[in-house]
Structure 1
């Protein structure tokens, strides 16, 4: 039996709970609540004081608004509790190094949850680039755009954390996945420049558009993110010396400009599978005492690219 503590019980926490329940393991799930007015979730025990539970927690999932991550990363790492931290790790860089040193000192296991690392196209690309270091890349274009009001039907999109910078919102932080898989596949850029604006008809306070140029030794990556595209698109374009690959992360396919289907995942794959694979990966690391990829320290370096202008 594993005891799991969840900080924050919003939409992303519920995805992690679904992932946990899909695994062939025995869990007891607790949720730290700020008050008794919070909605209960079947099979999840509400707790109101960490001290009542802390000694028996096997790991914690930090899935509250991004601006509150630092507090719980600090508190729980002091107790030596392994941390599964929803991306991005923090809303800003101010406390990053201090928390990194605290985690290193406590030797607590950390993993920052970027489930697109378990997307079959991203896994394929990571292996391909790693195994083919001599295949020349000249340019990479990454794009992710979707319509924020569709993200949480029935809720006023202007009130959710995504639309409010004081809660850690903004398209660059929400779509941190793109920064993460860029770092994972291509490494860290040596320079970054960006433009972030909020000029669309969404009329929100946080940035709804971001355009980054990431410079590498032999190529440049262009990254565009937005909250206002009605016809969702999530894609990568890689210009090799003799061909171009078009990667569609929504259709789970990679097609070459020569017409070749480089990779195509059968229709049985859904994005929810990445949450299950990610949770299974983390728990296996925990059980086998293996250091997981994408630790807090690693993700902090990715956050520095994301917040390079701050």
Structure 2
């Protein structure tokens, strides 16, 4: 099997290294020297032109370019006969998404979107054990990380996350939390959002957002997202009719992860996951292995399909609309 990585930035280099462990791998970037550097580091082959790379006939193309070019590159890959894995989010706009999904269906190829958090021990345990809390009533998710410290080798002001024109802002960047809540509780029918720039960072996007979601089954959830927390923290609490699941991850390199189940107010809870220092690279390795498995056995893994990713994107963009309307509820289904 052949895997082509398009885009050799930091995430593209990670995907190239992981793919090269499992399959014959090639890379392409609009900057030829960047592609060659990535190829040398991962043991892959480098192509200077995208058409030449697609003529190599890869089975899977991983799209790791800036958000605004995701759909254009993915459509070329689908037309060349490849399955695609697109970096999150699917795009920074819903324009062209419906047509892309139609093209995927017509091609007989499959399209997925990167959601490595589905392979993280925390959300994966929530998914496995959610049935043990009975009917889910509500959930609270959060993620916080300090933007200036995310990439120590880069000025944070130059990162896509800091720039509206490049699809930045904590709502789109933290779309994992939207996906986790949807994965656990079902389709989102309504979203309200308060968003702001609170931290005095030199960015033109929100660094804080609070989302309130209503899910199709009647459950409610909230997500607090920020670029301001000096110590990284991520987690989710699910309250059901018969118990509570709590996932908490604290710190970064090392990241401590725990998941506990509480069935009685008097007990200390059942430890489902307790890892003092998780391997933060492992979810990305598992994700790449899942892509290759899906080619042979569709539907056999937790991979996020493009249609579900489009629903996640609609929720994020509905949150932006709600924030502009001072928190008025928006139905994301009306945007798709």
**Scaled by the length of structure 2, what TM-score is found?**
0.83
| CA distance in structure 2 between the partners assigned to 1:238 and 1:53 by the alignment | 45
| CA distance in structure 1 between the partners assigned to 2:242 and 2:129 by the alignment | 16
Q: Does 1:30 align with 2:26?
A: yes
1:182-221, Cα deviation, whole Å (9 max, x unpaired): 1111111221111222232212012211111001344321
| CA distance in structure 2 between the partners assigned to 1:227 and 1:78 by the alignment | 38
Question: Is the CA contact (8 Å cut-off) linking 2:3 and 2:19 kept in structure 1?
Answer: no
Q: 1:269 aligns with which of 274, 278, 285?
A: 278
| CA distance in structure 1 between the partners assigned to 2:184 and 2:136 by the alignment | 12
**Distance change in 2, residues 1:38/1:123 (3 Å):** closer
> Secondary structure at 2:90's aligned position in 1?
coil
Question: Is the CA contact (8 Å cut-off) linking 2:210 and 2:225 kept in structure 1?
Answer: yes
Residue matched to 1:155 = 154
1:10-43, Cα deviation, whole Å (9 max, x unpaired): 111122223224x4x342x322221345362212
Shift, 1:51, TM fit: 2.3
Question: Is the CA contact (8 Å cut-off) linking 1:121 and 1:254 kept in structure 2?
Answer: yes
Residue matched to 2:292 = 283
Q: After the TM superposition, which of the residue ranges 135-144 and 185-194 deviates more from structure 2? A: 135-144
> Secondary structure at 2:26's aligned position in 1?
strand
> Secondary structure at 2:138's aligned position in 1?
strand
Alignment of 1:85-164 (within 5 A): 85-129=86-130, 131-132=131-132, 135-164=134-163
1:248-294, Cα deviation, whole Å (9 max, x unpaired): 134221233631133124447312111111111111121x1524642
Q: Does 1:70 align with 2:78?
A: no
Q: After the TM superposition, which of the residue ranges 51-60 and 97-106 deviates more from structure 2? A: 51-60
| CA distance in structure 2 between the partners assigned to 1:64 and 1:268 by the alignment | 30
Alignment of 1:209-220 (within 5 A): 209-216=208-215, 217-220=217-220
Residue matched to 1:304 = 314
Aligned-residue RMSD, C-alpha: 2.1
Unaligned runs of 5+ in 1: none
Residue matched to 2:305 = 295
Shift, 1:152, TM fit: 0.8
**Distance change in 2, residues 1:138/1:153 (3 Å):** same
> Secondary structure at 2:304's aligned position in 1?
coil
Shift, 1:52, TM fit: 1.8
> Secondary structure at 1:301's aligned position in 2?
helix
**Distance change in 2, residues 1:92/1:222 (3 Å):** same
**Distance change in 2, residues 1:4/1:242 (3 Å):** closer
Shift, 1:245, TM fit: 3.4
> Secondary structure at 1:307's aligned position in 2?
helix
Unaligned runs of 5+ in 2: 251-255, 322-336
Question: Is the CA contact (8 Å cut-off) linking 1:120 and 1:265 kept in structure 2?
Answer: no
| CA distance in structure 2 between the partners assigned to 1:36 and 1:11 by the alignment | 15
| CA distance in structure 2 between the partners assigned to 1:44 and 1:76 by the alignment | 19
| CA distance in structure 2 between the partners assigned to 1:254 and 1:284 by the alignment | 27
> Secondary structure at 1:231's aligned position in 2?
coil
**Distance change in 2, residues 1:5/1:262 (3 Å):** same
